[in-house]
């Protein structure tokens, strides 16, 4: 049981490049979320999904797109990376029967 798996673990992008951060969970969880973690800021919600085909914005959605075509996967897309998007990104999932959210190991992204 792998839980929540994020890839890649580390990534360096140039300003203006695009990329997709992958998140997959094998627990059949309905809810999935993306957070970014910055020093002194805690974790801030970017986008979340309550099920396949349903997504909504969190606190800091600008510059990011998401889609949820399957229950297992919830990719996060950066269309045109900016230095302000340098951060550690965490994906989380939970069952609608349980309040506990399970987090992945994170993707450490640097935009130069």
Looking at the Cβ atoms of 15 and 96, the one nearer to another protein is 96
Minimal distance, residue 14 CB to another protein, in Å: 25
Residue 94 binding another protein, by CB under 8 A = yes
Cα separation, 89 vs 85, whole angstroms: 10
Residue 58 binding another protein, by CB under 8 A = yes
Q: Which two tokens stand for residue 93?
A: 């999932």
Residues numbered 60 to 89 that lie near another protein (CB under 8 A) are none
19, 27, 45, 52: residue in contact with another protein (rule CB under 8 A): 45
* Number of neighbours of residue 83 by Cβ within 10 angstroms: 10
Neighbour-count burial of 74, counting CB atoms closer than 10 A to its CB (0-12 exposed, 13-18 middle, 19+ buried):
buried
84: helix, coil or strand?
Answer: helix
Looking at the Cβ atoms of 14 and 39, the one nearer to another protein is 39
Minimal distance, residue 94 CB to another protein, in Å: 7
Cα separation, 76 vs 64, whole angstroms: 7
Minimal distance, residue 16 CB to another protein, in Å: 29
Looking at the Cβ atoms of 16 and 56, the one nearer to another protein is 56
């Amino acid at each position: 049981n792998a839980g929540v798996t994020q890839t890649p673990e580390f990534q360096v992008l140039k300003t203006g490049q695009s990329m997709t951060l992958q998140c997959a969970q094998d627990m059949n969880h309905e809810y999935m979320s993306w957070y970014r973690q910055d020093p002194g800021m805690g974790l801030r919600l970017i986008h979340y999904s309550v099920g396949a085909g349903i997504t909504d914005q969190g606190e800091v959605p600008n510059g990011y797109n998401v889609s949820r075509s399957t229950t297992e996967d919830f990719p996060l897309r950066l269309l045109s990376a900016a230095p302000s998007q340098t951060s550690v990104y965490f994906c989380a999932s939970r069952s609608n029967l349980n309040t506990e959210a399970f987090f992945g190991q994170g993707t450490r992204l640097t935009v130069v």
